[in-house]
Structure formats: C-alpha cells, structure tokens
C-alpha cells in the first residue's frame, strides 16, 4: 500500500505507509514537517486523523480542543501519528434557520475529508446535537476505521438558590411569558445558564446520541455521560486514541461495526432511556448510509417490548450525573441484556454480553431493573393514521399521562413563527382541549425541519394555568423539551401530507396507547380541499439550500439527501 492510491476507501489493515513511501510520500512528509512533526513521526503508521468539530461558534464543543491533545497522546503512545483537522461545526443556538438543514452538509464534509486525506483511520470528536450524527453518517460512508469521543455534558448551574439544568429553560421562558419572571431575573439567568463547555446536561439529543454512539459500538463503553469537565474524559480520550490505532491496524471499518444487530440495540437503548425523538431520524440516516433500512415498524415493535428503565430529565427527575454514578451505558446494557443482541461488538472489541457482564457501578434510583421499570413500554411511540399515513413520533416519556389519549378541535398555524406570534394574542380563541397544529415545518417545507422551541400555548390559557396542550407538527422538538407533541408527521405538508389540509375546528384524535393519529374529516372533504389552490411558497433557487430541498428525504427515511444513501461500493 503506497502513495495516495490507498486513500480511496480501502479497509485493508495498514502495512507500509502513505508517508513512508520514498517517492510519493515525499511532499506529504515535507509539508507535515512544516507543522513541527519529526522525521520519525511522519513515517510512523498508522496515521490517525482527529476529525474535530471544535469551534468558537460552538460552545458545547469547545472542550474538544483539549480532548484532541489527549487523543493525540494515545495515538502516539500506541505507535501512530495523529493529525487534527477541522470540519463544519453546528451549534443549536447559533445556526439559522436550523442545524438540521446543515447536518447533511456537515456529513459530506466529514466523509470527503476522511476519504480524501492520507489517513488510515479517524477519531471523531463531536458533542452538540447534529455534530454526532453528521460525523457518524460521514464516517459510515467514508469506510475507514473510525471511533468517536463525545464532549460530555456540562456542569450544573444554580439559579434562585436551586440547581439549574438545560430543560429548566423551557419552564423559565414560560414564566417570562406569563409575567412571573422579572427582567432582572431574566438577565441573571443569562449570566448563569451555561456554567461551562459541554453539551446540554439532560437527556436531550446530544446526550441521547452520545449514548447511542456507545450502544452502536462507535464510542468506548462508559464514555457517553462522563461530565465534560471531569479528568476521566481526558483518560477516555487517550484510550480512544490507543483504540483508534488498534482499529486501523486491524482494518475494522464502520460497516463491520454498524450492523443490523447494533442498530437493534441502539433502538432498544433509545426507548429504554426515554431518549430524544430526534435520534429516530438520525439512526435511520446513519443506517441508510450502509444500505440498511430500520423503519418505524421496527421502532414500534422494539418500543412495545422494552420497558423504560431510566428516568433522566426530561423523561424523569434524575440527572445525567446520577446515571453516570449508576454506571452509565454499561450498567444500562446489564439491565437490558436479556433483550439485547448480545453478539454485537462494542468499540473496545468486547461483545455487548461481555461489557454487560463486567459492568460495575452503584445502581441508583435513576436506573431500575427490567422487572420494576418506570414504564412497561418504551419512551417513544409511533403514531399512524389518517393525519400521519407514514408515521409520527410521540415522546410518551416526556408527556403528561392525561394527554396520551386526547380528542379535540384543531387550531392551525401555517408556520412556527406565526404560531408564536398568534399565541401571544389574548384574543386567540382556544380551550385546553384544542389541538395546536404547526405545519410547514418539515424537511422540505421549512426547509430543514426546525424544532418547535416553545409549544405555542395561547397566552390567555397560560395565564389561566394551562401548561400542557396537545400539539401536532411536521417539524421536530428539542430533545430537552417535555410536552405532548406528535412530531415528524409524515408526509409533511410541503410533500402533500394530510396535515396540510387541516382546518381550524377539525377534530383530531391522538391515542398513544393504540398508536393512532387521526383527522376526523371525511375523505371527500379532504379531496376537495386538496384540489383547491394553495399559496405557493418560494423555493430556494441556489446554493446548498436549493440542493437540499430538491433531494431531502422525508422524516421516516432519515432526512438525508437521496444521493447519499448506500455505501460507495454498493452504489458504484
Ligand atoms: Fe449544544 Fe444543547 S445546545 S448540546
């Protein structure tokens, strides 16, 4: 294996060396030495790329720069050479209109940098929500040995004398809207809300994806929920560097790790922890990069068979630190072992069965045995029916039980911005039974499938004490947010889905126990509405956004771009 010819996606174990070849390696060695590497370092194998989503535009990921140095130490100690390279980084609050629009672009950046660079393997450094799936999608497609280390949750803050974590933000926004939080307190909240780097410190999308990366076998066992600020994370980084060298020497590519068994386990873990609904979309997208189709029927089956055994906020009252103290993901695997595909191999080379058997930790009240779960079923429910023919996701674990079954009249908002504006109108007519419908928030329609940050409960109802209402949307919701929301309604309004035909006052039925989301309107009436002209929304005409809208798949297919599915070998 010599020269750059070997960077075109080979999975062969390293032997000679891109940089070691006397002739073709010369310019690469010369340029690398400009960066301070020694004569010996540029000839060592394997060369491990450290793919970092560190950025000052991404505070959640700012700890990754330090972790990259720890990874480098591990790579060097194992006999390899490490080179750090940047990619696009996406922070949930900094990217407009939504990070989901750019997840696929980041995955393409990651894929091509791994594939086209003279590296034998890669360590993926991610944290904030979309950076984890984007890196996993890119690495799956690039086909070189890869292992991930996530940033870890940030430490807790304190506000008004009490601990403050990310999902408290939703409650405090509501208090501000209702006039129960003063301007001074709001200012003070800004001062303390983020007490350091690291990802949101509840089981939102970032931590859910970190847990799933571990369950999939792409991150070291025990790594997902170790706090960002703890020295244990540096230790994990060093061990990740060592393991990256071993994977590169063995030629272990993601395709051999990300098997159907690994995805089954990840889905089971997802519903057992009451994790973020966004992860359903991301897992589907990662799987399809390897030619696998998960599908919502699989999720529904697994969810019905899997008790929810973890109760970390927002799907419970406990913290990520409680989960870490209880043993983290290995302890969870021990609890779930009878339901898991135990032959799947995790990132340190052990099987799920071996990791589960060896799991230690002090079992805490946040993690219960299978026989005494928090709920007998999983935290996510697939809804289907005349309003969502191809499915919708309902995060039962974060919704009040009294709204798991509901029937009420629709109040329709044609986009999220309008929903927020109209919800502040004291004259807006609604009752606690009203079903709030927020549409044109899907992958193609928004575009980019933004999150419903605040459920648009009319201010008059808020002031009367109403804190929860059923909401139906073709968009997404933050994984940190609680609420009775039927999410990802597919097909979306922009793709001709029935959600685009709902009118104020139409009766809607949501039944999370039976998995139903129905619009109680006669089919002939819907057909007539469908034939009526609707205002056309201007389509983006250039650049990435135009490419995205032309090629994005619906939520049930992972919202990837259609031309990115499948392995390079399969699509050649
Ligand atoms: Fe980055 Fe929540 S905003 S993880």
Structure tokens at 148: 């991930």
Ligand 1 atom closest to residue 127's alpha carbon, by position in its atom list: 4
> Of all atoms in ligand 1, which is nearest to the CA of residue 59?
1
| C-alpha 79 to ligand 1 mean position (Å) | 35
| d(CA 181, ligand 1 centre) in Å | 24
Q: How far is the CA of 195 from the centre of ligand 1 (A)?
A: 13
Element (H, E) at 530: helix 523-531
CA of 531 to the centre of ligand 1 (A): 42
What is the pLDDT at residue 531? 95
Q: What is the DSSP letter of 535?
A: P
Residues near ligand 1 (Cβ within 6 A): 60, 91-93, 128-129, 199-200, 204, 206
Question: What's residue 1's pLDDT?
Answer: 32
Q: What is the 3-state secondary structure (H, E, C) of 324-353?
A: HHCCHHHHHHHHHHHHCCCCCECCCCCEHH
Return residue ranges of the chain for CATH 3.50.30.80. Answer: 380-537
Query: Under CATH, which number does the domain 380-537 receive?
Result: 3.50.30.80
Q: Which two tokens stand for residue 478?
A: 């933050």
| pLDDT score for 277 | 96
Query: Which atom of ligand 1 lies at the shortest distance from residue 206's CA?
Result: 4
Ligand 1 atom nearest to CA at 199: 4
Instruction: Using most ligand atoms within 8 A of CB, pick from 128, 153, 194, 479 the residue to mutate for ligand 1.
Output: 128
Fold of 45-155+196-358: Rossmann fold (3.40.50)
Given the CA of residue 205, which atom of ligand 1 is nearest to it? 4
Domain ranges in the chain with CATH number 3.40.50.2300? 45-155+196-358
End-to-end CA distance of the chain: 22
At residue 8, the pLDDT reads 33
**DSSP notation for 236-259:** HHHHHHHHHHHHHHHT--HHHHS-
CA–CA gap between residue 451 and residue 465 (Å, rounded): 24
Radius of gyration of the chain (CA): 24
Angle (CA) 381-454-560 rounded to 5° is 55
Please state the atom number of ligand 1 nearest to the C-alpha of residue 93: 3
Q: In angstroms, rounded to a whole number, what is the distance separating the alpha carbons of residues 140 and 49? A: 15
Residue nearest to atom 3 of ligand 1 (CA): 92
User: Which of 392, 466, 397 is closest to 174 using CA atoms?
Assistant: 466
DSSP annotation string for 84-111: EEE-----TTTSSS-HHHHHHHHHHHHH
What the block records as the tokens of 2 is 């010599």
Mark the ranges of the chain whose per-residue pLDDT is less than 70.
Answer: 1-20, 361-363, 567-572
User: Which residue among 206, 313, 476 has the greatest number of ligand 1 atoms within 8 angstroms of its CB, and so is best to mutate?
Assistant: 206
Residues 338/369, Cβ–Cβ less than 8 Å: no
Specify the length of the chain in residues.
Answer: 572
pLDDT at residue 533, rounded to an integer? 86
State the pTM of this model.
Answer: 0.94
pLDDT at 571: 45
Mutate to test the pocket of ligand 1, among 55, 92, 102 (most ligand atoms within 8 A of CB): 92
Cα separation of 177 and 183, whole Å? 11
Contact 270, 545 (CB under 8 A): no
Q: Whose CA is nearest to atom 1 of ligand 1?
A: 128
Rounded to the nearest angstrom, the distance between the alpha carbon of 476 and the centre of ligand 1 is: 15
Of 62, 63, 91, which is best to mutate to test ligand 1, by the most ligand atoms within 8 angstroms of its C-beta? 91
CA distances from 238 to 37, 328, 391 (A): 19, 19, 42
């Amino acid at each position: 294996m010599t020269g750059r010819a070997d960077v075109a996606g080979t999975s062969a174990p390293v032997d000679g060396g891109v940089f070691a070849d006397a002739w073709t390696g010369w310019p690469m060695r010369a340029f690398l030495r400009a960066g301070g590497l020694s004569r010996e370092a540029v000839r060592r194998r394997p060369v491990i790329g450290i793919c970092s989503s560190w950025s000052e535009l991404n505070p959640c990921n700012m700890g990754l720069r330090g972790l990259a140095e720890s990874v480098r130490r591990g790579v060097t100690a194992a006999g390899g050479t490490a080179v750090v390279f940047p990619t696009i980084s996406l922070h949930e609050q900094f990217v407009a209109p939504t990070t989901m629009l750019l997840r696929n672009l980041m995955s393409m950046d990651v894929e091509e940098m791994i594939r086209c660079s003279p590296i034998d393997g890669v360590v993926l450094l991610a944290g904030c929500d979309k950076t984890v799936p984007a890196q996993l999608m890119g690495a799956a497609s690039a086909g070189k040995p890869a292992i991930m280390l996530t940033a870890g949750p940030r430490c807790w803050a304190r506000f008004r004398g009490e601990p403050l974590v990310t999902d408290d933000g939703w409650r405090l926004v509501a208090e501000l809207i209702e006039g129960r939080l003063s301007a001074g307190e709001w200012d003070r909240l800004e001062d303390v809300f983020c007490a350091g780097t690291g990802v949101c410190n509840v089981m939102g999308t970032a931590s859910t994806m970190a847990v799933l990366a571990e369950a999939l076998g792409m991150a070291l066992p025990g790594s997902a929920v170790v706090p960002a600020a703890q020295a244990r994370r540096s230790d994990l980084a060093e061990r990740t560097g060592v393991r990256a060298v071993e994977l590169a020497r063995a030629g272990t590519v993601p395709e051999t790790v990300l098997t159907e068994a690994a995805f089954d386990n990840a889905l089971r873990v997802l519903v057992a922890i009451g994790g973020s609904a966004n992860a359903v979309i991301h897992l589907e997208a990662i799987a399809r990069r390897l030619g696998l189709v998960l599908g919502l029927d699989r999720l529904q089956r697994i969810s019905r068979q899997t008790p929810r055994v973890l109760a970390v906020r927002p799907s419970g009252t406990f913290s990520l630190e409680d989960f870490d103290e209880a043993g983290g993901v290995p302890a969870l695997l021990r609890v779930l072992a009878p339901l898991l595909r135990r032959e799947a191999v995790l990132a340190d080379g052990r099987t799920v069965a071996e990791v589960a058997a060896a799991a230690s930790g002090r079992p805490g009240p946040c993690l219960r045995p299978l026989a005494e779960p928090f709920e007998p079923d999983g935290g996510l429910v697939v809804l289907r029916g005349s309003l969502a023919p191809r499915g919708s996701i309902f995060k039962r674990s974060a919704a009040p039980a009294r709204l798991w079954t509901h029937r009420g009249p629709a109040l329709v908002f044609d986009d999220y911005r309008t929903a927020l504006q109209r919800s502040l109108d004291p004259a807006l007519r609604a009752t606690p039974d009203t079903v709030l419908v927020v549409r044109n928030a899907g992958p193609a329609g928004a575009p980019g499938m933004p999150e419903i940050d605040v459920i648009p409960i009319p201010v008059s109802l808020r002031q009367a004490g109403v804190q929860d209402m059923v909401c139906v949307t073709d968009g997404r919701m933050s994984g940190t947010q609680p609420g009775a929301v039927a999410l990802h309604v597919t097909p979306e309004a922009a793709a001709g889905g029935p959600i685009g035909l709902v009118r104020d006052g139409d009766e809607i039925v949501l039944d999370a126990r039976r998995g139903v989301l129905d619009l109680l309107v006669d089919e002939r009436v819907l057909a007539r509405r469908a034939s009526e002209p609707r205002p056309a929304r201007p389509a983006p005409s250039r650049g990435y956004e135009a490419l995205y809208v032309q090629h994005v798949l619906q939520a049930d297919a992972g919202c990837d771009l259609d031309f990115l599915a499948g392995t390079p070998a399969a699509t050649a």
